[in-house]
Amino acid sequence: MEKVEAVDVRLVAFERDSKLNRTLRQSYRHCAQSARRAASSFYWSFWLLPRAKRRAMCALYAFSRHTDDLSDNEQPVEIRIAAIAGWRDSLERALNENFDDPLFPALVDTLQQFDISPQYLHDIIEGVEMDLEPRRYQTFDDLREYCYRVASAVGLACIHIWGFTSEKAKEPAIKCGLAFQLTNILRDLKEDAARDRVYLPLDDLQRFDYSAEELLEGVYDKRLTKIIRFETDRAENLYRESTELLPYLHPDGQRALETMMHTYWQLLAAIRKKADNPMNGRINLPTHRKVSIALSAAVGVIRSPVN
C-alpha cells in the first residue's frame, strides 16, 4: 500500500509539472538561479526536499533576498525608501496576478500551492524598512519585533512548504527565526556598525558597562567579549527551544530544518570561539562543510549538537 501511495504522489507531481506554463517554469528557474548565486548557508538544505518543495523554497528565498537587497545597498536612503515602496506595490499587483518581476509567478504559485499567507511577505518588507534609518533597541523584547519580521516570518512561511501537523509548530518556528537572526547579528557586528546599525539591545550593553557609541567607534575589549558570550548563550537556548518544532514537521522538512540548525549552530560556535577578536573578518562556514552537513542529514546520520 505504501508503494502505491508513493507512486501516486510522484504521478501527481509529474502531472502538475507538465501543466506548468512556460512563464511559470521560467520564473521557478529564475528563483533557483538566484538562490544558487547567493550561496546562502541555507541553500544546501533545499536539496533535501522533493522538487516541488525545493522550488518553493527557492521562490521564497529569492523574494526575501531581493527585498533585503533593496535596503542593503549604497543608494541614498530616499532612493531605497522609494524602491521598497515600489516593491510593496509590485507584490500587491502580483497577488492579483499582474507580474512585473520574473520571480513573482513562482512566488504566487508557491503561496497558492502551500496555503501561505501573504502577510508573511508584508512582514518581511516591513522588517527591511526598519533598516532604512539608524535604529536602536532598548530591550531584547524590542529586538524581537524586528527579528520576527525579517526572520521568523520567513520561518512561518517555510513550515507551510515543509508541511506541519499542528498549530503548535508556529511558536518554536518563531523562536527558530529569532535564533537565526541573533546569530546573524553577532556575525555582522562590524558591517552593521559601519552602517550605524546597532542591533544588540542597549540594556545588554549597559549590563557590561559598554555603549552603542563605543561599538560604532571600534572599541573592542573584554566588555564586548562578555556581551558576545552572553548573546551566544541566549541564542543557544533559543536553538534548544526551537527543536520542539521538529516532531511537528513532515520527514523531509525535518531533514531540511536539521541541516539549517546544524549549520547555524556551527556558525554560532565559531562566533563564540572568536569572541576575543570579533571584528577581525566576517565568519562564514566553508561550502564543503555546508554540503557535508546536508549529506549527513540526507542519509539520516546527522546528530545536531543542539540536543
What is the per-residue pLDDT across 142-186, written as a single tens digit (0 to 9) for each?
A: 999 999 999 999 999 999 999 999 999 999 999 999 999 999 999
**pLDDT above 50 (res 1):** no
Q: Which of 121, 184, 104, 130 is nearest to 158 (CA)?
A: 121
* Beta carbons of 250 and 164 less than 8 angstroms apart: yes
Place domain 22-298 in its CATH homologous superfamily.
Farnesyl Diphosphate Synthase (1.10.600.10)
**For residues 189 and 262, is the Cβ–Cβ distance under 8 A?**
no
Question: Cα-Cα-Cα-Cα dihedral of 40, 46, 47, 48, to 10°?
Answer: 130
Mean pLDDT to the nearest integer, 217-225: 92
For residue 10, the model assigns a pLDDT of 45
State the average pLDDT over residues 176-202: 94
| Predicted local distance difference test score (pLDDT) of residue 14 | 44
pLDDT of residue 45: 87
% residues pLDDT > 90 (the chain): 69
Report how far Cα 294 is from the mean position of its chain's Cα atoms: 17
Kindly tell me if the per-residue pLDDT of 298 is higher than 60.
no
**How does the average pLDDT of the chain come out, rounded?**
87
- Residue 41, pLDDT score: 74
38-42, 107-111, 138-142, 265-269: segment of lowest average pLDDT: 38-42
- The whole-number pLDDT of residue 43 equals 81
Calpha distance 206→111 (Å, rounded): 43
* d(C-alpha 276, C-alpha 232), whole Å: 13
| Predicted pLDDT at 279 | 61
Residue 18 pLDDT level (bands cut at 50, 70, 90): low
Quick one: pLDDT at residue 20? Answer: 66
Mean pLDDT (whole number) for 224-246: 96
Q: Which residue has the higher pLDDT, 100 or 295?
A: 100
| pLDDT-wise least confident of 187-191, 194-198, 273-277 | 273-277
How far is CA 25 from its chain centroid?
A: 24
| Torsion angle defined by CA atoms of residues 237, 258, 167 and 162, in that order, rounded to the nearest 10 degrees | 150
